[in-house]
């Protein structure tokens, strides 16, 4: 008699045989992005509902969207206008308004993106969906907040003496690039916060340092005139370039090197692609967020 030994199949082998996949398993990048695109309506509605909820909690509602950056522009403009003396840039009030309003979009995107996973722990743990939709929804929320801010920013610039011109439409492609860049940063911050929860306390400090070192409130050429090598660094500073392109497009008599568009485009694409891959690589980790 021939004894036959039947090998017991493992659970993994059974799953492979019947085409079963592990819960929460990370799909390949292309499939992952397709799944995220299929849920674009979810991301938009999530952003819109969060924006409405945040406005309803405030007595003044949407007015705070404009009041806060306006107060910041007044306060910082007054203080730094005095500190800089004769080194203030051309048309200093409009310079500050554009800088403060657009930087607010960057800092809010980074901070809200950082909390997008940890702040939605119940949603992440209970439903199966590409987690990348959460930081993207956070950036969409900040973009929706930016829209009325831009209208007020243009009004302020006209009150301050800026003449409307066709170059104002260059703000549209600028916002496309700036939004791509901010999305990439938000994705990186979202993953970092999952690994290091204290990062949410460090990030506001980082954005504050960037606020004071990105040319929001001063002219790089005038303040750093004694450090020409440092001035050259700003030719590759994405936030500074975005602000200068906006000022050159909106304000009268402000110019910027045309290659800023090329460098900013590289930063935008690089940040978005790099941030997407970096976030996707830890997809399985997000389901265990606590």
Residues 239-254: tens digit of each pLDDT: 999 999 999 999 988 8
Task: Report which of 159, 48, 143, 50 is spatially closest to residue 102, judged by C-alpha positions.
Answer: 143
- For position 132, what pLDDT does the model report? 95
Task: Report which of 155, 180, 127, 150 is spatially closest to residue 246, judged by C-alpha positions.
Answer: 150
Q: Please check whether residue 43 is in contact with residue 136, taking contact to mean a CB–CB distance below 8 angstroms.
A: yes
Complete DSSP assignment for 124-145: HHH--S-TTHHHHHHHHHHHHH
- For position 134, what pLDDT does the model report? 95
Comparing 1-5, 92-96, 140-144, 246-250, the range with the smallest average pLDDT is 1-5
- Sequence-distant (6+) residues with CB within 8 A of 17 are 9
The structure tokens 């020409």 sit at 228
Residue 14 has pLDDT above 60, yes or no: no
CA triplet 219, 149, 144: central angle to 5 degrees? Answer: 125
Task: Report which of 76, 73, 81, 74 is spatially closest to residue 102, judged by C-alpha positions.
Answer: 73
pTM listed for this prediction: 0.87
pLDDT tens for residues 222-243? 888 888 888 898 999 999 999 9
Q: What tokens does 24 get?
A: 């929460």
Question: How far is residue 22's CA from residue 40's CA, in Å, rounded to a whole number?
Answer: 25
Residue 81 has pLDDT above 90, yes or no: no
Q: Please check whether residue 162 is in contact with residue 252, taking contact to mean a CB–CB distance below 8 angstroms.
A: yes
| HSE toward the beta carbon, residue 124, CA cutoff 13 A | 22
**Higher pLDDT, residue 125 or 138:** 138
pLDDT bin (cut points 50, 70, 90) of residue 26 is confident
pLDDT tens for residues 30-71? 999 999 999 999 999 999 988 888 767 665 556 777 777 888
- For position 5, what pLDDT does the model report? 45
The structure tokens 């200068």 sit at 244
Comparing 45-54, 105-114, 180-189, the range with the smallest average pLDDT is 45-54
Q: Where are the alpha helices (DSSP H) in 86-213?
A: 92-114, 121-126, 133-159, 171-195, 199-213
Ranges 22-26, 250-254, 261-265, most confident: 261-265
Residues in the chain: 290
Question: How far is residue 168's CA from residue 151's CA, in Å, rounded to a whole number?
Answer: 12
Average pLDDT, the chain: 86
Q: Where are the alpha helices (DSSP H) in 1-39?
A: 11-17, 29-38
Question: How far is residue 195's CA from residue 191's CA, in Å, rounded to a whole number?
Answer: 7
What is the average per-residue pLDDT within 208-217? 92
Residue 178 has pLDDT above 50, yes or no: yes
Q: Is 239 exposed, middle or buried (0-12, 13-18, 19+ CB in 10 A)?
A: buried
Cα dihedral across residues 146, 152, 155, 157: positive or negative: negative
- For position 248, what pLDDT does the model report? 93
């Amino acid at each position: 008699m021939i004894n036959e030994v039947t090998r017991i199949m493992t659970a993994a082998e059974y799953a492979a045989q019947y085409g079963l996949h592990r819960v929460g398993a990370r799909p390949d990048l292309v499939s992952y992005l397709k799944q995220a695109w299929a849920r674009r309506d979810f991301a938009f509605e999530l952003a819109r509902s969060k924006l409405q909820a945040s406005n309803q909690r405030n007595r003044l509602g949407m007015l705070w969207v404009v009041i806060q950056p306006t107060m910041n522009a007044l306060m910082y403009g007054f203080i730094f206008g005095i500190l800089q003396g004769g080194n203030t840039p051309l048309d200093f009030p409009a310079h500050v308004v554009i800088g403060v309003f657009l930087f607010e979009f960057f800092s809010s995107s980074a901070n809200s993106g950082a909390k997008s996973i940890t702040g939605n722990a119940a949603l992440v743990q209970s439903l199966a969906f590409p987690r990348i939709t959460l930081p993207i929804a956070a950036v969409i929320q900040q973009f929706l907040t930016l829209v009325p801010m831009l209208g007020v920013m243009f009004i302020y610039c006209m009150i301050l003496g800026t003449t409307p011109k066709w170059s104002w439409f260059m703000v549209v492609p600028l916002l496309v690039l700036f939004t791509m860049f901010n999305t990439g940063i938000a994705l990186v911050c979202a993953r970092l916060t999952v690994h290091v929860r204290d990062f949410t306390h460090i990030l506001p400090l980082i954005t504050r340092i960037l606020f004071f070192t990105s040319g929001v409130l001063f002219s790089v050429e005038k303040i750093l005139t004694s450090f020409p090598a440092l001035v050259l660094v700003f030719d590759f500073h994405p936030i500074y370039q975005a602000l200068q392109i906006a000022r050159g497009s909106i304000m009268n008599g402000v110019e910027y090197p045309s290659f800023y568009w090329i460098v900013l485009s590289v930063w935008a694409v690089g940040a978005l692609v790099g941030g997407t891959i970096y976030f996707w690589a830890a997809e399985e980790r997000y389901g265990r967020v606590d």
